[in-house]
Structure 1
Amino acid sequence: MSSTRQDAWSHDEDLLLAEVVLRHIREGSTQLQAFEEVGKQMNRTAAACGFRWNSYVRKQYKSGIELAKKQRKERKSKSSDHHEEPAQIPRVEVDNTKLDFVSNLTLNDVIKYLENLQVSYDQAQRDKESLSNELKELHSKMDQLQQMYEDQKKEYSELERDYSSMLAIMEKARQMALK
């Protein structure tokens, strides 16, 4: 069955996409497998999921990706040292959002993640402020252009009336000359 959804992505779908991709990264799987898995869950194509991940979601989870790669590396070194099956990662639900909980997460990892999150938030705030200022400038320019348009429209109407009057006078003069 081919999925052909073309509606917008919701925040919950972005969260699900991020969760599945990060889990696949942690487990040493491929992102393509993650896109296929999440595509089936959301009735979207793997290509659509991959595009959404690469164009938008991945940028929101840079520190999460670094952490997942670190955990994959640790998991790989542990399993090669101990030749054990990787333990199942328990799932925790927070505000109806399923999250992976990793027991070997250190306080420094959490602090680093939160600091990176704060930096991202601060940058987003600066971007928002910059875009807001740019929007105000564009609205101002649009108002100026709208006023110029109205002035030109008024001037054009006056010229059109004058032209019509001149043609009427010339027509009367022509008729008088013919008599």
Structure 2
Amino acid sequence: MSPTRQDAWSQDEDLLLAEVVLRHIREGGTQLQAFEEVGKQLSRTSAACGFRWNSYVRKQYTSGIELAKKQRKDLKRLDDPAEREPIQETAQVAAVQSSPGCEQGITITFPAVIHFLEGIQKQVEVSSSFEEDRMKTSEKIKELEKKAYYLAAENERLTKNLKAIEEDYRSLIEIMERARKMVVLQDEDRQQKVKFQMDKNGNLERVEK
């Protein structure tokens, strides 16, 4: 038994989830049954499938859900003998009923087929819109990546400039410190050269060395 997956959902998996859920709605099944079916196919838990459907996929198929509910009502009406379409109309779709994909014991009418095809068309339109949005998002991501690369390069350049400024500042401080020490030494040396002596009258006088 394969381990339960917890990775990100792909677009194909979202489409499979939508297809199975809409089919269960159309055929009168429950969403829980749909989640379990998808979970087995994708090696995911039914809870994960339910969360994905309610948090993201369901919003993309609002019109499809309404159409599937309408088709379910149509099928229920067809199953009721008192509300079945006239025999003349059902005879016109005998070829459709005998096709391999049709379930045995269910009468299919042109309105039901038309509704079904309209549902498929709307799903395709939604998928196309989703693909267009995905492409726009992908282009925007590429633009943001380019900006990120540019900002990273600019940051590296500014960092180098900052280091150069810091080095120049340290060099300037060292030069100023050496100059200060030189001035102090010159003052000390000048003071050492000054000498006092007493004259004949007993007064001190300054004598340069």
Q: Does 69-78 or 57-66 show the bigger shift?
A: 57-66
Rounded Cα–Cα distance in structure 2 between residues aligned with 1:9 and 1:131: 17
Counterpart of 2:175 in structure 1 is 169
Q: Which amino acid aligns with 2:178?
A: K
Q: Does 121-130 or 44-53 show the bigger shift?
A: 121-130
Rounded Cα–Cα distance in structure 1 between residues aligned with 2:122 and 2:10: 26
RMSD in angstroms over aligned alpha carbons? 4.1
Counterpart of 1:25 in structure 2 is 25
**For the structure 1 residues 64 and 147, does the alpha-carbon distance in structure 2 shift closer, same or farther, using more than 3 Å as the test?**
same
**For the structure 1 residues 82 and 35, does the alpha-carbon distance in structure 2 shift closer, same or farther, using more than 3 Å as the test?**
farther
Rounded Cα–Cα distance in structure 2 between residues aligned with 1:157 and 1:56: 49
Listed as ranges, the matches of 1:8-87 within 5 Å are 8-81=8-81
Unmatched segments (≥5 aa) in structure 1: 93-101
Give 1:126 shift.
Answer: 6.3
- Greater CA radius of gyration, 1 or 2? 2
Measured against aligned partners, the alpha-carbon deviations of 1:50-69 in whole angstroms (never above 9, x if no partner) come to 12222333344444323321
8 Å Cα contact 1:63-1:113 kept in structure 2: no
**For the structure 1 residues 6 and 114, does the alpha-carbon distance in structure 2 shift closer, same or farther, using more than 3 Å as the test?**
same
Unmatched segments (≥5 aa) in structure 2: 84-96, 189-209
Q: State which of 127, 132, 135 in structure 2 corresponds to 1:125.
A: 132
Is 1:156 the equivalent of 2:145?
no
Counterpart of 2:203 in structure 1 is none
8 Å Cα contact 1:18-1:57 kept in structure 2: yes
Rounded Cα–Cα distance in structure 2 between residues aligned with 1:21 and 1:112: 13
Q: Which amino acid aligns with 1:6?
A: Q
Rounded Cα–Cα distance in structure 2 between residues aligned with 1:15 and 1:130: 19
8 Å Cα contact 1:39-1:45 kept in structure 2: yes
Give 1:12 shift.
Answer: 4.5
Q: Which amino acid aligns with 2:124?
A: L
Counterpart of 1:110 in structure 2 is 117
8 Å Cα contact 1:32-1:46 kept in structure 2: yes
Identity of aligned residues (%): 52
**For the structure 1 residues 9 and 126, does the alpha-carbon distance in structure 2 shift closer, same or farther, using more than 3 Å as the test?**
closer
8 Å Cα contact 2:63-2:122 kept in structure 1: no
